[in-house]
Amino acid sequence: MSDDRIPLRFAVVGAAPPWATAQEAVLIEEPAAVAFTLAPGVAVMRFGAAGAVHPAGCACCLGRGAAAAALGVLFQARARGEVAWFTAVVAVVADAAAVSAEVQGDRVAAARFRVVA
């Protein structure tokens, strides 16, 4: 049985770049006080605990964590052709375990993304 979900792996804030290849998108937790360079055309989505992706209380984000909501926006941008097609996502976060648990606990994010080691 194959798993067609998009692989999601983690890089810790402060880890040495490069974090992603041209076929991977990057999810960055703010504030990420690090300088980095990505390959041209790499899709980037930033998120933070205080920042809302959509208006407060919208039906698609209500009760969702910031990382799960940001992955939803990234997935939609991929489907609409608004960003380069990617086959995996690298999440640059301070606490990989917390973000992993959030993604796995969110039904929509877990249906689209598979956390990998």
Residue-number span of the structural domain to which 35 is assigned:
6-115
Q: Residue 8: pLDDT above 90? A: yes
| Domain presence at residue 52 | yes
The pTM is what? Answer: 0.78
Q: What is the pLDDT of residues 30-81, one digit of tens each?
A: 876 555 666 677 888 888 854 444 555 555 555 789 999 999 999 999 999 9
Percent of the chain's residues with pLDDT above 90:
44
Give domain status of residue 103, yes or no. Answer: yes
| Count: domains in the chain | 1
Q: For residues 94 and 86, which has the higher predicted lDDT (pLDDT)?
A: 86
Model pLDDT, residue 5: 96
Output the CA–CA distances (angstroms, integers) from residue 69 to 1, 35, 40, in the order listed: 28, 24, 25
